[in-house]
Structures are given as structure tokens and as C-alpha cells.
Amino acid sequence: MAEDAGIKIRPDGPYLVTGVASLRRTGLVRNEHERPVAWNDRDQVEHRDVYALCRCGASENKPFCDGAHSKIDFDGGEAADRRPIADRRRSYGSGSTELTDDKSLCWHAGCCVREHAQAWDLAAGERDGDQDQLLTEMVHLCPSGRLELFRDGQVDEPDLDPEIAIIDDGPLWVRGGIPVEAADGEPWEARNRVSLCRCGASKNKPFCDNSHVDAGFKDSGAE
């Protein structure tokens, strides 16, 4: 990632991306119980050195901006809580392993729930080795960063390369600590996993809140 890499949110406009070379498509992989168990990272999307990603949901050239935001009078006001995550999250578990939960970032990807277990219950209870591995897997799969694990006081995060993953019919998954700057020039708190709205309907902009489902937003990259 270039030294000046980052995402700048344009007022009532797109995400302007600089220095982020990897832009790819991805989608959830589900098991026989229809629970999310992995991500299917696939083809890279060609782009310029500096590129603008649609934020209003109306572009005919998704994931890129085509100026549609000005035609639909898009309101891109950012309403998300700007307090530090440390002031918002709840903690679960005790001892050497702690699960933290910032519910305000959730968009219901569902990676935290399996047919026989939930991340919060695993964190709060006694776990064997397999259950502890499952807890780690669940948290690391979460694209929003709502859930984080701490081991002996140190954050346990997946090792993610800086890139932007375009989730099928869903948000942009910004990985690897890429800085995001608000439209007013102030930085959002840097995080390893961030999900940015691209349907235009989120009530928690710039972050996804699952509004793409009710909005019927579609973009899977299929021809």
C-alpha cells in the first residue's frame, strides 16, 4: 500500500481511492445449514491509479462512480457515531480471552452465528480447543469489525492485506487498516475491518447497516 493510500469521502459523492492497488470481488460461502463459513475472494477489478467508487447506489458502472449521485440529489451525510470504539463496545468473557462487541457497526453478515453456536456464548463459556478455534474463525470472518478478540490484553486480528473487497450485492469491505477520511476532512477511526455502504440507503453512513437488502441493491459483477 502506498504511503499516501486512503479513501476520501466526497461530500454527497463517491469514495475517492488513492494508493490501494487491490480491488476485488468477494461473496459469502455458506454451509449446508446456510450459515456463512468463509469468503470467496475472486477476480481483481481493473482500475486507474486513483479511482472513485459509487456511494449512492445508482451508478450504471458499478462499482465505479459515473456521476449518478448528482442526478438523484444523493444525500451522503455521515451519521455514524464518531466516538472511539472503546467507548461504545461491550465485553464478553473473562480470563485470557475477551470478545468485544460494537453493535453500531453491524450489518448482519451472520458470520458470528453457526447452527450450533454463537460467538458471544462461546466467549462467555468454557471452551475446548475446537470451540476456541471456532470463536476465532467467527470473529475474523466478520467484515464490519463489530466483533474483536483480545488475548491476554492484546488484540487478535486477522492478517489482512490492504485492499478493498466488493461484496456481492452488499457493501465495500475495506481491509488492512486503510484510512478513511470523512467528507469534512476528519479521519474515521482506523480499523483492520470496515464495511462501507455503497447502496446509498444506510442510516449509519459511511458504514453499512444492511439497508441494501430492503433497497434491493444488486451488484455481483455478473455479466
For the segment 156-211, what is each residue's pLDDT rounded down to a tens digit?
A: 999 999 999 999 999 999 999 999 999 999 999 999 999 999 999 999 999 999 99
Q: Residue 87 corresponds to which amino acid?
A: D
H/E element, 70: helix 68-71
Residue 63 lies in a domain: yes
Cell of 112: 458470528
Residue 47 lies in a domain: yes
Kindly give, in sequence order, each residue whose CB lies less than 8 Å from that of residue 54, ignoring residues fewer than 6 positions away: 14, 61, 62, 63, 64, 65, 66, 68, 69, 198
Are 121 and 182 in the same domain? no
Could you give the CA distance from residue 66 to residue 70 in angstroms, rounded to a whole number?
10
Residue 55 near residue 76 (C-beta atoms within 8 A) = yes
Average pLDDT over residues 68-91: 96
**Which residue type does 207 have?**
F
Residue 222 confidence class, pLDDT cut points 50, 70, 90 = low
What pTM was computed for the model?
Answer: 0.96
Residues 170 and 206 in one domain: yes
Residues 141 and 181 in one domain: no
> Could you tell me if 140 and 197 lie in one domain?
no
Residue 76 belongs to domain spanning: 6-30+39-81+160-215
C-alpha cell at 124: 462467555
Per the structure block, which three cell numbers stand in for 57? Answer: 447506489
Are 157 and 100 spatial neighbours (Cβ–Cβ below 8 Å)?
no
At 2, the pLDDT band (50, 70, 90 cuts) reads: low
Domain count, the chain: 2
